[in-house]
Amino acid sequence: MRGTLTFVGTADSKGVPRFWCACPICTEARTGGLNRRTRSAALIRGNGETLLLDCGPDLHAQLARLPGPLVPDAVLISHAHNDHLLGLGDLLDYAVYASGDMGMNGAPAGSLVPIPISTPAEVLPQLQDRFAYAFRRSAPVQPLPEEGLEVAGLRVRAFRVPHGANGHSHAFHLGQPGWRAAYVTDAIDIPGEVVGEWLTDLDLLILGTSFADESASPRAGRSVYDVREALELPWARAARRVYLTHLSHGVDVRGLTLPEGWAFAWDGLEITL
Ligand SMILES: [Zn+2]
Ligand SMILES: [Zn+2]
């Protein structure tokens, strides 16, 4: 087995329930239903190592929900949006306190265990701006090398994807000889050359689809595929397994049927790779 992937969060930027919203999906989410979701992140385990993809504002609650303590062997941040990044402060603190309390990773209690955190080089200045205090004395986040990282039994690389009205984001390609997967939470209108290089012949695709159908919204204001569009993407249809994530209160995971091989992700869902 190549390992597992746990969806620790599957929501869009606002989370579900939206705290001000009384719609039926937010109401179901409030009672602990299947639509209750935290901001998108994923935890991959393989080869005795763990890799965290993104660290949004719900990170502390997401890690606290895990059955045991965790210091990730690597963390990758896709882009500098709040919903993918704002747990970074917790993560930096968490590394320090975890080592002090527990002597994690074989380190003597009280010593610092730096968590290797990286992001595409062009994202780094935005992180330095947002977390200036953490970068004052050290460089806690490194630029992700072009060739990616070898972690959790996978070669993990980032690639640039259009994020519509929000400019662009990055997605992650997870590879092993004879096996390919992609984690694409925040993208729309991905051009053919990017599809050709990164998104063909996928064994597993994890794709962000914030709403079920946004065809009534002006295209210029859009930033993530909707479910209707995802179902029509030839490269997504060609993937052997597809999980939809980054879901807003506009998607009721109980009420929409998806084709064979497709499923909605939900918080806590663990899949094998
Ligand atoms: Zn997002
Ligand atoms: Zn985003």
Geometric angle at alpha carbon 247, from 76 and 153, rounded to 5°: 30
Geometric angle at alpha carbon 13, from 12 and 14, rounded to 5°: 95
CA of 130 to the centre of ligand 1 (A): 17
Q: What is the mean pLDDT of residues 45-68?
A: 95
pLDDT tens per residue, range 146-176: 999 999 999 999 999 999 999 999 999 999 9
Q: Which ligand is nearest to the CA of 81?
A: 2
Q: Residues 6 or more apart from 241 whose CB is under 8 A from it? A: 203, 204, 205, 261, 262, 271
4-272 carries CATH number 3.60.15.10: yes
pLDDT tens per residue, range 240-272: 999 999 999 999 999 889 999 999 999 999 999
Query: What gap in Å lies between CA 204 and CA 236, rounded to an integer?
Result: 9
β-strands 149-151, 154-162: how paired?
A: antiparallel
Query: What gap in Å lies between CA 48 and CA 57, rounded to an integer?
Result: 27
Domain-wise residue ranges, the chain: 4-272
CA of 188 to the centre of ligand 2 (A): 11
Protein residues near ligand 1, an ion, with CB under 5 A: 13, 83, 186
CA of 150 to the centre of ligand 1 (A): 25
Question: What global pTM score does this model have?
Answer: 0.94
CA of 169 to the centre of ligand 1 (A): 9
DSSP 212: S
pLDDT tens per residue, range 191-207: 999 999 999 999 999 99
